[in-house]
Structure 1
Amino acid sequence: MLIITTLSTPLLYRFLGASAFGEYAFLLSVFAIYMIFVSSGITDGVRKFLAEDRAAANWSEHVVGFYFRLAVVLAVVGALLLVGAAQFGIVGLTFGDELTIYFYALAALVITAQFRDYARKTLMGFGLERYSEPLKVLDKVGFVVVAIPLVYVGYGVMGALAGHLFASILVAAVGLVLVHRRISLSCVFSRPTARFPRKQMLTFNSMSIVLVFLLMSLYHIDIVMLQRFAESSAVGNYRAALTLAEFLWFVPLALQTVYVHSTSELWSNNRYRKITDLASRTTRYTFLLTAVMAVGLAALADVAVPIYFGAEAEPAITPLLLLLPGALGFALARPILAVSQGNGTLRYPIAATGAAAAINVALNAVLIPRYGMHGAAVATSVGYGTMFAFHCWSARLVGFDPLADARFGRVILTTLLAAVPIVALTTALPGPWLALAVVPPVGFVIFLAFALLVGALDPTEPFEILAAFPDPIGSRADSIHSRLEARLSGDTTRNWLQILLFVGGLSLLVSGLALGLLDASF
């Protein structure tokens, strides 16, 4: 998905232009907020309750049927409301007459997107990620195959929306067939017993809607408010900056996707120590990986943005730099939020997300009218960043500690030490294409060396992670991990390793400073 998005987004930006790309981004933001009330309670609910190990008769069939019926009702009502808003002039009065025609396309997309997401999340609830995750890729491919040609030949924003419509129909059809192979969809017509926990499910649905609404406001309220106070070209460039900043989230998003239903089983079995260990190690790994990506993206921003989006997107460089600190904080909050959702007690995650969302809205309202997209970037970055702090507080109230093995100070020190040679290397290289080719791999090695040096990462941990991969990678990594564990069991060996890593890390830092000074002298 990351590869497809990386290739397709600059094409859309170039073919649509900054102004039309801004309108397209605005429409998707409005649609995403609207779909919260149509689908979020259903998609979160079906994957949570299917993942729970309950002894009730025909539990899975009743959960699938209950949420399918609810999905039909909400999709039809949601689509009719959008058609009515467009037909009776509410859309034109609120957003402008030129956008009204697009809302008819969004109304059709409400229905198709509802069943696309229902099918995918049902498969996830059954633990069938081997089907649900390729469907996400199919959705992206279907969109690109239809949208890019239509936009290129001149259909503009409507062509892009047609791509979304085609892709969601395709994924919904394939996904429902896969669900039917696991459990017959005839269960839609069966009625569960009186003991079926409808009230609990509807309560979870309503709480999920509130949580997702607050969460999605962090993604989209800046786009909606910026459209109100700035030109569409500014919205397009700001959306371009957000697109690059959101690349930091691809690993946290993957973790968030699976942690809701996978930790539901741990919570139901009262495995609190396992949950804390999982959450804290995830926080540390997420911080390490996201931090090195943020440092690299910041160092390469001046050369990457014009190459990626074109010269028209150069105004997006400063908003991108302003967004990166907050995007890093939001990346850390995502897996923590998912573990809290798996518990099913949503009042603390809602309070944490609500506090961050309120800060985000308030700052956007103050800064956008005066500073435009730069104000939006600052406001959104602060809102994103506070998510991590608030959700650490929420996690402790829910019953786990995401910082138990996070080694926060060591990770921060790793980031600061590695940033110096990475930025110096970027400055010293003569051309933009050479910098794009050299800095990411070399920067990763530099960062990894400092992580091992300061103890943010144990020497055996990379191989422990790789051991979970399919063969031949998994078996070889497991063998290396076992040998390293045996050799590093003594304190003396560990001390000598730390000394060697310190010398190597100091050499990297001095080399980076020398490169920077050498470049400055020229």
Structure 2
Amino acid sequence: MFNLKFSKTMKDVQWSFISLATASFAHLLLRIVLGKELGPSGLGLYTLVFTIYMFGMQYAAFGISTALIKYVAEYNDDLPQITSFVSSGIVGSIVTGSFMSVLMYLLSGFISIQFFHNPEMVDLLKITALCFPFIAMQKAVIGTLNGLRKMKRYAVVNIAQHGSVMIVSIVLVMLLNMGVKGAVIGLVAPTIVVGLLSLTFIREYFTSEQAILRTVLNKVLWFGLYIVLADSIAMLNVQIDSLMVGHFMNETEVGYYAVAVLFIEGLRLIPDSVQKVITPAIANFHGKNDYLNINKLIKITVLRVFVITLFASLSILLLGQFLIEMLFREDFLSAYEPLLILLVGSLIYGPISSINGTLPGIGKVNVMFKISLICALMNVVLNIILIPKYGITGAAIATSTSLIFTALVRVYFIKLYIPKLPYIA
């Protein structure tokens, strides 16, 4: 039975990988274009706006996507339950996304001027605020498709999102010479369109029964509350370095650091692809109290991802300077030193991140939140201490240290709640 399910898992991983590989390629190509066309300063400004967008997206989606993965996977044979969860998730995402949109619009001046000391960001953040309800709906759709293990449709939605953002942004920046504003519009406009169109993939799971919606929505939002707190803190743990560089230094330094981070994001491609599939599989096994298969899945996942991550890290170590100069420009070579430091943390964190869905999958989302909170606080403190003295190198040291600590803590708690893991001594 395990072999059959594992075969299905591998096929789903392939679709997940295709989806995220396309997203990664689109992200890379767009950053290369922005770096060449706008220089370190323009790339840095866009990176700051995009990072704020990523944080806003977490609160707009409110963890509903992860909640849908869990509950849809658990009730995969119960169509009425799936319908109630999906419909409630869509309603909830519209509400939370709209709230985040208004909040971002109102706070755009404070974030831009008071924190980053950059008035140019104000209008860019106001434009960005428009897309939050639509990205929230899209995340709910993706969560549903992930829970249903319809990874081909999942891939189509992701490819449409990232591919359209890349194409529209490049056209606006290169052909219409609209600069950073064009890149931001290129992010927002396709997100709105794809968010609306993505609803067609799950239209058969909609219901209008208000009593069911109210009851299930409450359950989804409570679960999502822990998820959004955990995910936003986890994102803070990853993105705080770029934000702190922008706060203590300037957008040019952010541009250099963004190039280093870009390579690290490429390393996360495999773990993230695997994690999208492993999470619903673990939730499904947990619903059947099948801890034997959970253990097998975790063991083989971590080992395989480690081997791939190690090979990729060594390749970047040897070719990093050449790739930076070839893909961007010679004046971006300042990114190489922080890149080497970030590689260390990513090599250890990557394999563990592939099983990040284990604790939420077995219902320990509150534990995941507490882990993320502790690790993020550590990262913030290290960045505040190291960046003013060591610049972007200090940011890399802080982040790499935090990633290693996060990986070790997560392994401890996975071992605690799923005992006798074969790969942990």
TM-score by length of 2: 0.89
Opposite residue 248 of structure 2, the aligned amino acid is F
Opposite residue 368 of structure 2, the aligned amino acid is P
1:266-293, Cα deviation, whole Å (9 max, x unpaired)? 0000111110111011111111110011
1:200-246, Cα deviation, whole Å (9 max, x unpaired)? 43331111112102210112111111101112111101010000122
Which of 163, 181, 185 pairs up with 1:162?
185
1:60 aligns with 2:82: yes
- Count of residues in correspondence between the two structures: 401
Which of 278, 283, 287 pairs up with 1:264?
283
| Aligned match of 1:113 | 135
Contact 1:272 1:400 in 2 (8 A): no
1:72 aligns with 2:94: yes
- Distance in 2, Cα, partners of 1:312 & 1:160: 22
Opposite residue 144 of structure 1, the aligned amino acid is M
1:92-118, Cα deviation, whole Å (9 max, x unpaired)? 334332211112111112122112222
Which of 183, 199, 202 pairs up with 2:221?
202
Contact 2:93 2:133 in 1 (8 A): no
Secondary structure of the equivalent of 1:270?
coil
How far is the alpha carbon of 1:147 from its aligned partner?
0.3
Name the % identity. 22
Cα distance change of structure 1 residues 229 and 59 upon mapping to structure 2, 3 Å threshold? same
Secondary structure of the equivalent of 1:336?
coil
1:92 aligns with 2:113: yes
Secondary structure of the equivalent of 2:354?
helix
| Aligned match of 1:373 | 392
Opposite residue 113 of structure 2, the aligned amino acid is G
Cα distance change of structure 1 residues 30 and 6 upon mapping to structure 2, 3 Å threshold? closer
1:361 aligns with 2:380: yes
Opposite residue 67 of structure 2, the aligned amino acid is G
Opposite residue 114 of structure 2, the aligned amino acid is L
Pairing 1:284-433 to 2, within 5 Å after superposition: 284-400=303-419, 404-405=422-423
Pairing 1:504-515 to 2, within 5 Å after superposition: none
1:349-396, Cα deviation, whole Å (9 max, x unpaired)? 223323322221111110001111000011111111222111100101
**Structure 1 residue runs without a partner (length 5+):** 409-522
- Distance in 1, Cα, partners of 2:39 & 2:111: 27
- Distance in 1, Cα, partners of 2:417 & 2:338: 35
Contact 1:326 1:381 in 2 (8 A): yes
1:127 aligns with 2:149: yes
1:176 aligns with 2:199: yes
Opposite residue 169 of structure 1, the aligned amino acid is I
TM-score by length of 1: 0.73
Contact 2:138 2:195 in 1 (8 A): yes
Contact 1:229 1:369 in 2 (8 A): yes
Pairing 1:248-259 to 2, within 5 Å after superposition: 248-259=267-278
- Distance in 1, Cα, partners of 2:84 & 2:112: 39
Cα distance change of structure 1 residues 101 and 142 upon mapping to structure 2, 3 Å threshold? same
How far is the alpha carbon of 1:193 from its aligned partner?
4.4
- Distance in 1, Cα, partners of 2:162 & 2:56: 21
- Distance in 2, Cα, partners of 1:76 & 1:24: 23
Opposite residue 95 of structure 2, the aligned amino acid is V
Secondary structure of the equivalent of 2:149?
coil
How far is the alpha carbon of 1:340 from its aligned partner?
1.9
- Distance in 2, Cα, partners of 1:298 & 1:288: 15
**Structure 2 residue runs without a partner (length 5+):** 1-21
| Aligned match of 1:49 | 71
1:302-343, Cα deviation, whole Å (9 max, x unpaired)? 222111211121100111111101111221221221122211
How far is the alpha carbon of 1:265 from its aligned partner?
0.6
- Distance in 2, Cα, partners of 1:90 & 1:386: 30
Contact 2:233 2:376 in 1 (8 A): yes
CA RMSD after TM alignment: 2.1
| Aligned match of 2:43 | 21
Contact 1:138 1:171 in 2 (8 A): yes
Contact 1:62 1:191 in 2 (8 A): no
Secondary structure of the equivalent of 1:100?
helix
- Distance in 2, Cα, partners of 1:77 & 1:348: 27
Opposite residue 85 of structure 1, the aligned amino acid is L
- Distance in 2, Cα, partners of 1:179 & 1:390: 37
Secondary structure of the equivalent of 2:131?
helix
Specify which structure has the bigger relative contact order, considering alpha-carbon pairs within 8 angstroms and separated by 6 or more residues. Answer: 2
How far is the alpha carbon of 1:40 from its aligned partner?
3.5
1:123-144, Cα deviation, whole Å (9 max, x unpaired)? 2222211101122111121011
| Aligned match of 1:504 | none
- Distance in 2, Cα, partners of 1:210 & 1:78: 14
1:433-477, Cα deviation, whole Å (9 max, x unpaired)? xxxxxxxxxxxxxxxxxxxxxxxxxxxxxxxxxxxxxxxxxxxxx
- Distance in 2, Cα, partners of 1:301 & 1:340: 35
- Distance in 2, Cα, partners of 1:289 & 1:72: 39
- Distance in 2, Cα, partners of 1:271 & 1:131: 28
| Aligned match of 1:150 | 172
How far is the alpha carbon of 1:84 from its aligned partner?
2.2
